[in-house]
Structure 1
Amino acid sequence: MPGDRRLARGDATRRLVLRRAVDVASVDGLDGLSLGRLATELELSKSGVFALFGSKEELQLATIEAALEIFRSHVVTPSLDVAPGLPRLRAICENWLDYSEKRVFPGGCFFFNVGAEFDARPGRVRDAVAAASGSFAGLIRETAVEAVALGHLDADPEVLAFELHALGRAANADAVLNGGTRAYALARQAIGARLP
């Protein structure tokens, strides 16, 4: 079926473009994306790439969704396989630090970087970034609440979740700016002190 092959080829091209887009955006921001740049770098026709997305904003939104899928596969999904409460909370933090330290995205944590880019700019792109970041912060909070409810920890779960989120973000920011892995070691030490 020629139509099926064209559809499959279009899906494969879309995945290829989005994989490159998340890497570019992690370093240059979502504003650093352009249909022309991606077409040139991937040796595709600009009109073909445009047909996949239609506008820069649609490309940005699709890039956020693609980055979220990658983030979930590295951080969230493996954490959900761990026992509830404190073990899962530890796994979330460790998987997150590993994801950032291993540079799954060349610019470090995709959502930290694009969050800083769009945090004060209203619109659909900011809303999508905020929703993605908020869902992860919510997972940390829910897991902290669960750990307290199970008697694994004696802490204010809201404060604990805020601290854990802040430690991960600080490790990413420091390591991206200054290089090296010291920030991750310090974050692991600080998280270990909060999650005995």
Structure 2
Amino acid sequence: MSGNRVDKRIERGQQSRRAVLGRAMDIASVEGLDSLSVRRLAAELEFSKSGVFAQFGSKEELQLATVRAAVEVFVGEVVKPALRAPSGVRRVRALCESWLRYARKPVFSGGCFFISAAAEFDARPGRVRDAVASARRDWQRLYARTIEEARDLGEIAAETDVRQLAFELDALGRSGSQDALLYSDPASYRMASGAMLARLRSVATDPALLD
């Protein structure tokens, strides 16, 4: 019986942590990670302040946990669906479209969590900036690896600069998402998608694969 009580306490603790981080990610996507506080999250979720503080310990730890949670969401919403596409240029396009769907839903009220976090911390050295930068690098490296794989399969021209193409596709997606939010104009997502597809067609050895 005592074991069951411990298990239930652990389960409740995990549920409350997920709730706190879910709300924290949404707030941060709109107002920034600096807007997070144990007091605010506890009040909004009707949790005890001491209970929330015990899970994170400090504002910085709360911010870092929020970044890690956002990475998990990103992997589930963007990476895993895209990796179901066949290897090659079609998987590169799947990464493009999967990212745009994530931003367009939007998963968070402020659109892409990492666009907001990068803008907030890009000139502020420290652990939070490092965590955000690490997440962004992982995404760019995945783009580059997927493009390189497509090139090795002969579906992207051999002379293609992998890192350059990954940079361009990522930049087009982010620019479209930012404009869509700033101007309240969902057409920006469509234009970004079209630009990304055109860029991929320009390097594809068989553009019909992208039809």
Instruction: Output the TM-score relative to the length of structure 1.
Output: 0.97
Give, in angstroms, the shift of residue 82 of structure 1.
Answer: 1.3
Match of 1:148 among 134, 151, 157: 151
Give, in angstroms, the shift of residue 151 of structure 1.
Answer: 1.3
3-state DSSP of counterpart to 1:195: helix
* Matching residue of 1:9: 12
The answer as to 2:39 corresponding to 1:36 is yes
Give, in angstroms, the shift of residue 195 of structure 1.
Answer: 1.6
Q: Give the aligned CA root-mean-square deviation in angstroms.
A: 0.9
Give, in angstroms, the shift of residue 178 of structure 1.
Answer: 1.0
* Stretches of structure 2 lacking an aligned partner (at least 5 in a row): 202-211
Larger radius of gyration: 2
- Please list the CA deviations of residues 48-106 of structure 1 after superposition, one character each: whole Å capped at 9, or x if unmatched: 11011111011001100111111110100111111111011000000000100111011
Letter in 2 for 1:5: K
- Please list the CA deviations of residues 21-41 of structure 1 after superposition, one character each: whole Å capped at 9, or x if unmatched: 000000011001011110111
* Matching residue of 1:193: 198
Matches within 5 A, 1:153-172: 153-154=156-157, 155-172=160-177
Give, in angstroms, the shift of residue 45 of structure 1.
Answer: 1.0
C-alpha distance in 2, partners of 1:187/1:152?
22
* Matching residue of 1:184: 189
Letter in 1 for 2:33: L
Aligned residues: 196
Give, in angstroms, the shift of residue 144 of structure 1.
Answer: 1.1
* Stretches of structure 1 lacking an aligned partner (at least 5 in a row): none
Instruction: Output the TM-score relative to the length of structure 2.
Output: 0.91
The answer as to 2:124 corresponding to 1:131 is no
The answer as to 2:178 corresponding to 1:173 is yes
* Matching residue of 1:83: 86
